[in-house]
Amino acid sequence: MTLAISEAAGAGRQVLPRLLAGVTGGGRAGLLEHEDLLGPLPLPASTASKRADRARAARLIDVVERSGLTGRGGAGFPTGRKLRSVAAGRGAVVVANGAEGEPASAKDRLLLTRAPHLVLDGISLAAYAVGADRAYLAVHETSSRLAAGLEGAVAARQAAGIDPVPVTLVGIPDRYVASEQSAIVQVINGGPALPTFAPPRTHEKGVDGRPTLVNNVETLAHLALIARFGDGWFRSAGTPAAPGTMLVTISGAVARPGVYEIELGTPLGTVLMQAGGPTEPLQAILTGGFFGTWLPVETAWHLPLTLRGVRAGGGTLGAGIIVALSAAACGLAETARVVRYLAHETAGQCGPCIFGLPALAEVLAGLAYGGGRQLPERIRELIPLVEGRGACRHPDGATQLARSALRAFAPDARWHAERGPCGGVRYGPVLSVPGDLEAW
């Protein structure tokens, strides 16, 4: 089983890109192009010895654990530890989460569209590592063109006899909460696309009650490269505490919005300059997307892009979303629009989502577009009544964004409260909020 490149090949420091090495032009990398670039799927030939297979699978988990790879879907949990936990059970199932529920992110769709075989390699390797006999790839059911391309990629691999475990595509509703891992598992089990109460966690009891490994598709793409080139190669990028690379989606007031592959630990300002730099003066940067945090630009600019680095500055890294907010825009209006969307996108299973988020959205909209001296304090009172009380993290993500807005835009909040809306409310929307076509 190939788990590391040769010493000579691994001696030099890997130059970016890694995940995006085969992404050129506007086309999809076919199976032959993928194998020409990276070589065949690094799985051993079938063996009659289950003991030998288990030993090889354990070595693969060891390599992933030594690499320091963490989940790229937002939580940042150690991937090797998750593999080991699921492998310890019986009848494991693998689920690849390619349903990008975060509207501000585009990285997963890019990978699935342009480098599908890298993700499918990762799914097969993960299934081998945990001993799974079933594997699923979840995408939004509205993404018919994406699904058709993925079905073609899966069929090509089946015809070539590559994957020991067939991959089944699963369509889930295009809603924010539907991409949460327990919601995807519930869809596969024939239920509604809603998060379930925990415990048990999906790694303990998921699809059909089996131990289920749920990983973001970027995480699995990294796993496919680590299996080929080894943990030392992976660690040659990034920092000792946060090794490797990650995909970031950059939007807002930058010259070249898009998806970029960066080394972990790169200062946020340097990343923005790779996207062509700001097109106008900035006041704040949103890190982490709709469940993220607003940071004043002077705070965010020098933060290293790692989970700990961004958290130390008061932010969240999440799934690698960076939005540059123009000084001419209104951060309170942007936040109000997002929280209104999140209030509509709840699972509707508990009080904080049914009552708390709509109330918070209404007060935020009042502050952004109307004004009132009591509104900032009312927002501060509502936040602790919502967060930490839900069945899932949905209400907590919304309150995190709202709290960060009051902190990052404190002078604006005072202005709105005392004098009414600022001129920034007439600035065009920065964040693309689904369904938000009408004016306030």
What is the average pLDDT score of the chain? Answer: 91
Residues 227 and 81 in one domain: yes
Per-residue pLDDT tens over the stretch 136-159 = 999 999 999 999 999 999 999 999
Report yes or no on 388 lying in a domain.
yes
Residue 2: pLDDT band with limits 50, 70, 90: very low
Q: Which of 52-56, 163-167, 267-271 has the weakest average pLDDT?
A: 52-56
Residue 26: pLDDT band with limits 50, 70, 90: low
All residues at 6 or more sequence positions from 61 whose CB lies less than 8 Å from its CB, including other chains = 80, 83, 84, 87, 129
Mean pLDDT of all residues in 195-223:
92
Q: Work out the percent of the chain whose per-residue pLDDT is above 70.
A: 93
Please identify which residue in the block is written with the tokens 């000579």: 8
Per-residue pLDDT tens over the stretch 217-265 = 999 999 999 999 999 999 999 999 999 999 999 999 999 999 999 999 9
User: What is the CA angle 220-223-227, rounded to 5?
Assistant: 145
Residues 322 and 335 in one domain: no
State yes or no: cis peptide before 352, omega within 30 of 0. Answer: no
Note the pLDDT of residue 390. Answer: 80
Are the C-beta atoms of 376 and 417 separated by less than 8 Å?
A: yes
Question: Is the Cα torsion angle 41, 42, 48, 54 positive or negative in sign?
Answer: negative
Residues 205 and 124 in one domain: yes
Report yes or no on 280 lying in a domain.
yes
As beta bridge partners, residue 261 has 247
Per-residue pLDDT tens over the stretch 309-349 = 999 999 999 999 999 999 999 999 999 999 999 999 988 88
Residues 280 and 215 in one domain: no
Task: Say how far apart CA 414 and CA 420 lie, in whole Å.
Answer: 9
Residues 293 and 416 in one domain: no
| Boundary-marking domain end, from 235, 253, 282 | 235
**Residues making up the chain, counted from first to last:** 440
Residues 318 and 404 in one domain: no
For residue 222, what is the domain's CATH number?
A: 3.40.50.11540
Report yes or no on 440 lying in a domain.
no
For the chain, what is the domain count? 3
| Boundary-marking domain end, from 186, 215, 235 | 235
Residues 95 and 218 in one domain: yes
Report yes or no on 166 lying in a domain.
yes
Mean pLDDT of all residues in 200-211:
91
Residues 382 and 276 in one domain: no
Report yes or no on 94 lying in a domain.
yes
Report yes or no on 335 lying in a domain.
yes
| Helix, strand, coil shares, percent, the chain, to 5 | 45, 15, 40
Residues 387 and 256 in one domain: no
Mean pLDDT of all residues in 205-218:
96
For residue 262, what is the domain's CATH number?
A: 3.10.20.600
Residues 276 and 413 in one domain: no
| Boundary-marking domain end, from 291, 307, 326 | 326
For residue 408, what is the domain's CATH number?
A: 1.20.1440.230
Q: Work out the percent of the chain whose per-residue pLDDT is above 90.
A: 80
Task: Say how far apart CA 219 and CA 211 lie, in whole Å.
Answer: 19
Full residue range of the structural domain in which residue 411 is found = 331-426
Residues 212 and 256 in one domain: no
**Residue 11 pLDDT > 90:** no
Q: Are strands 212-216 and 93-97 parallel, antiparallel or unpaired?
A: parallel
Note the pLDDT of residue 209. Answer: 94
**What tokens appear for 251 in the block?**
């939007």
Amino acid of residue 430 = V
**What tokens appear for 11 in the block?**
């001696």
Per-residue pLDDT tens over the stretch 64-88 = 999 999 999 888 899 999 999 999 9
Report yes or no on 19 lying in a domain.
no
Report yes or no on 391 lying in a domain.
yes
Cα distance between the two ends of the chain: 59
All residues at 6 or more sequence positions from 355 whose CB lies less than 8 Å from its CB, including other chains = none
Note the pLDDT of residue 18. Answer: 95
Note the pLDDT of residue 440. Answer: 40
Amino acid of residue 225 = L
Note the pLDDT of residue 336. Answer: 97
Mean pLDDT of all residues in 162-166:
91
The structure's pTM equals 0.93
All residues at 6 or more sequence positions from 160 whose CB lies less than 8 Å from its CB, including other chains = 31
Residues 274 and 184 in one domain: no
